[in-house]
Structure 1
Amino acid sequence: MTELVTERLILRAPRPEDAPCYALGISEFAVAKWLTPVPWPYTLSMAQDFLRSAPAPTPEKAFFIIEHPQKGLIGCVTLVSELGFWIARPHWQRGYGMEAASALIDWHFDGTGAEAIRSSAHHNNIASLRLKAKLGFVATGREMRFSQALQHNVEHVTTALSRTDWRARRNDLCA
């Protein structure tokens, strides 16, 4: 089973027993309102169904639970059509999103021939847009997407990160 281990986190495939903590973290409106495809309220049965259907992670397409060894499940990070993530509210502003996303981006570029990763965020999700800028994502445009939690269209900032820019950024950090 694939696991990515960072300084403070373990990124791993979901397990059935994750459903209660997953549902608790993602069902808080302060989290769900930023996740366009996620309905709200989000129930335990939704979490059970979703986690049961999650494919095994590969460098091409991955869905990882973010686990803190002392705190348990604190969020998830995914790269399917876009890079996406959420962190449960009690764990905000600790750098966990940056740490998890960096590990997944490294794994993706190391294991594929992909030249870029796309991502997006609500135009007013300042924390997500700031994290993506720190990762090296650059704005590529804007588009409207329907938010399940908000039940209306929301303007999204679309972004992209090239393999070249990621490697240069990682080399600068390690130098």
Structure 2
Amino acid sequence: MPVLMTKRLILRAWRETDAKSLYRLAQDPRVSVVAGWRPHKSPKESLAVIRDVYSQPEIYALVLRSTGEVIGSVGLMTYHNSNIGLSKTDCELGYWLGVPYWENGYCTEAASVLIRHAFEDLSMQRVFCSYIEGNLSSQKVQEKLGFSPHHVNKNVYWDSLGASRNEYVSCISRQDWFLKNTKRERM
């Protein structure tokens, strides 16, 4: 798995030594509720998540370049491990950040480089992304990145919420991504 860099971030594979950092961030229900999972209960549970979930291809730890601190996660899920139901040339983007790092543009920055990786290196044709109703921050990230609404999964039961909410699924095509970024580079 490649290491991807942005101006402020390093996207790298998760390491078992990241378990304490993951626990520190993932125990906060403000993170887990909007991400769709339950808060972590111990560093041991976080280690299990690193081994069982975050060890999959294209799942990255988000690390601040300035401090080396893990601040969240971003990843691409392909057709066989996505919740959306994708073709082999589609993938699903997922991301979350620890609360102290919200509202700094880190998700947009990380997702942008990962989308470029999906299209340029992995030859994907479409990238999907979703958010739970009420998660305005995630909605804004997707809008900034050029995603368009695709469909709504109504009344999905979210274990982390203990309730049903609509899931909004958006998409950006390879063609739309390159058009958007070519325009930006010309400005």
TM-score of the superposed pair, with normalisation by structure 1:
0.91
Deviates more, 1:23-32 or 1:9-18: 23-32
Deviations 1:55-112 (A, max 9, x none): 353xxxx100000023300110011032110111111111110110001101111122
Match of 1:74 among 71, 80, 86: 71
- Give the 5 Å matches for 1:1-175: 2-36=2-36, 38-53=37-52, 54-55=54-55, 57=57, 62-71=58-67, 72-80=69-77, 81=82, 82-143=92-153, 144-175=155-186
CA distance in 2, matches of 1:108, 1:43: 33
Between the two proteins, the alignment pairs up a number of residues equal to 170
Structure 1 stretches of at least 4 aligned residues deviating more than 2 Å after TM superposition: 40-43, 53-57
Percent identical: 28
**SS where residue 63 of structure 2 aligns?**
strand
Question: What is the TM-score when the length of structure 2 is the normalising length?
Answer: 0.85
Q: Is the 8 A contact 2:14 2:61 kept in 1?
A: yes
Give, in angstroms, the shift of residue 2 of structure 1. Answer: 1.8
Alpha-carbon contact 2:40-2:46 (below 8 Å) kept: no
Q: Can you give the 5+ residue segments of structure 1 that lack an aligned partner in the other structure? A: none
Q: Is the 8 A contact 1:35 1:147 kept in 2?
A: no
1:22 is paired with a residue whose SS is helix
Q: Give the number of the structure with larger relative contact order, counting CA–CA contacts within 8 Å between residues 6 or more apart.
A: 1
Q: In the TM superposition, what is the alpha-carbon distance from 1:132 to its structure 2 partner?
A: 0.1
Secondary structure of the structure 2 residue equivalent to 1:34: helix
Q: Where does the alignment leave 5 or more consecutive residues of structure 2 unmatched?
A: 83-91
Partner amino acid, structure 1, of 2:27: S
Aligned to 1:145, the other structure's residue is in SS state strand
